[in-house]
């Protein structure tokens, strides 16, 4: 599964702790992240992560492009709902694309906990079926 990990600045600590706690699950998957989030996770864990631009510089849009191409299976995006972001339109666009393409999107730690355990159990295997169908 291809998984995107993204966190706004005030949520980065949550993301690092999440990645450390669930490194044993995440390391079975292909990981992508916006620039700074990816750098911090790489420094805190042994996970290998493909890093895009930082969010404000287009990283959310790069991840959105993968979603539109059916090349992303899950997005874990710890959003900061209390701070204005200069690239708010990009954030909205990314979440919108998740809804357009039925991509599981967790926007906070509580939801991400459910996703990660579901991932471990194989609850998201249906993504493989969708992708195989799309390739036909
Ligand atoms: O701003 C972000 C997502 O909208 C995250 O970007 P960084 O991971 O580069 O901080």
The interface pTM score, or ipTM, of the predicted complex is 0.98
55 a known binding residue? yes
Residue 8: CB within 6 Å of ligand 1?
yes
Residue 64: CB within 6 Å of ligand 1?
no
**Beta carbons of 98 and 3 less than 8 angstroms apart:** no
pTM passes above 0.90:
yes
pLDDT at 134: 80
**What CATH homologous superfamily does 2-135 map to?**
Methylglyoxal synthase-like domain (3.40.50.1380)
β-pair type (105-106, 30-33): unpaired
Residue 107 has pLDDT above 80, yes or no: yes
Residue 136 has pLDDT above 90, yes or no: no
Domain segments of the chain as ranges: 2-135
Cα 125 to Cα 73, 90, 96: the distances in Å are 10, 28, 22
C-alpha–C-alpha distance, residues 93 and 24, integer Å: 31
Cα 11 to Cα 4, 26, 78, 82, 107: the distances in Å are 15, 19, 6, 11, 10
Report how far ligand 1's centroid is from the alpha carbon of 8 (Å).
5
């Amino acid at each position: 599964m291809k998984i995107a990990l993204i966190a706004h600045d005030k949520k980065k600590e949550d993301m690092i702790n999440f990645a450390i706690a669930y490194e044993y699950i995440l390391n079975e998957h292909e990981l992508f992240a916006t620039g700074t989030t990816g750098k911090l996770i790489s420094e805190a864990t042994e996970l290998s992560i493909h890093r895009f631009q930082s969010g404000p510089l287009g990283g959310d849009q790069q991840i959105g492009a993968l979603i539109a191409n059916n090349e992303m299976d899950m997005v874990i995006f710890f959003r900061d709902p209390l701070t204005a972001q200069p690239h708010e339109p990009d954030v909205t666009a990314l979440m919108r694309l998740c809804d357009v393409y039925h991509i599981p999107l967790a926007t906070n730690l509580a939801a991400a906990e459910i996703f990660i355990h579901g991932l471990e159990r194989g609850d998201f295997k249906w993504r493989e079926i969708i992708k195989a169908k799309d390739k036909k």
